[in-house]
Amino acid sequence: MKVLVTGAAGFIGYHTARQLAASGDCEVLGLDNLNDYYPVALKRARLAQLAGLPAFRFVEADFADAARFRELYLSFAPDYVVHLGAQAGVRYSMENPAAYTHSNLVGFSSVLDAARERPPRHVVYASSSSVYGGGAVTPFHEDQRTDSPLSFYAATKKSNEVTAYSYAHLFGLPLTGLRFFTVYGPWGRPDMAPILFSKAITEGKPIKLFNHGKNRRDFTYVDDIVAGVLAAMRTPPTAFADAPPCRVFNLGHNHPVNVVDFVRELESLLGRKAQIELIGPQPGDMVETCADLTRVQAALGYAPRTPLAEGLRAFVEWFRDYHR
């Protein structure tokens, strides 16, 4: 089968493309624009890991360029689309909202329009736990209201879910959105907590913990996330008389961890003490995230298997090797 993976040079996109290309039953086309939101060298290093896989091919292109994306899409004729490309980052969305409009709104429409012209078996796309926003009650269940986003990033992901529903309703396009919860692991993004904290600890620099260190996160190891992505991809939703072929699932670990405890675990693995600065809340941040996995477990049999200590050990091994 043919699978198109957008954001293939990104963190989750890289791991997903790797598993698909190594499976023996897929031809994978990876797409990424290699933007400089964080160092492009890391993205190219991920792609170098994929280059030796015969089933993987990469094209540097922007999926928000509708004409270019349509040309690539129709030429490849994928059976499945895994749309993981997006402008990421809650805090950066306050500095440069235009980047989120371009990739997360215009780009998402570009992907759906191409898929509408030649429907694949299934389109899976990345949403985010950030959509739960203000007033959300943990654990977050997919039926909770998500109309109070606390960041523009979250607003664009909520827009993706609403747009997906309309395309499924109007055109019968099978679509599944996956709300990821704080993903970590080898080859992770340098703007996220694991690398930021690890670099600060090893360099003897202070770590700023927002909300006076009281935030709690549902840290989920990347292999568990990829297992959920692939299970969802292979199980398209079915249309019913009163509902289009469209759904949304949480993908998390369901065991939120205090961020301070996360830092303590890293201290132990790195063999150095952290210099912690407790500061006030950060606009756009959520105090706690925790995934209710009832729906995804019933539909896909999804069950995260990686304890935090095991996942962080694998992350630290990669971190030491990559940053040596």
Q: Catalytic amino acids?
A: 153
Give the contacts of 139 (CB within 8 A, at least 6 positions apart). Answer: 254, 290, 291, 292
What does the alpha-carbon distance between residue 31 and residue 85 come to, in Å, rounded to a whole number? Answer: 8
Would you give the end-to-end CA distance of the chain in angstroms?
39
Give the contacts of 100 (CB within 8 A, at least 6 positions apart). Answer: 87, 93, 152, 153, 156
Are 35 and 60 within 8 A, CB to CB?
no
C-alpha separations of 234 from 122, 219, 226, 229 in Å: 8, 25, 12, 9
What does the alpha-carbon distance between residue 287 and residue 147 come to, in Å, rounded to a whole number? Answer: 17
> Phi and psi for 250 in degrees, rounded to 5?
-80, 140
- Asked if the bond preceding 174 is cis, omega within 30° of 0, the reply is no
Of 160, 156, 159, 80, the C-alpha closest to 123 is: 80
Helical spans, DSSP H, in the chain: 11-22, 40-50, 66-76, 92-95, 97-100, 107-117, 152-171, 193-203, 222-233, 259-270, 294-300, 308-322
Around Cβ 179, how many Cβ atoms within 10 Å? 24
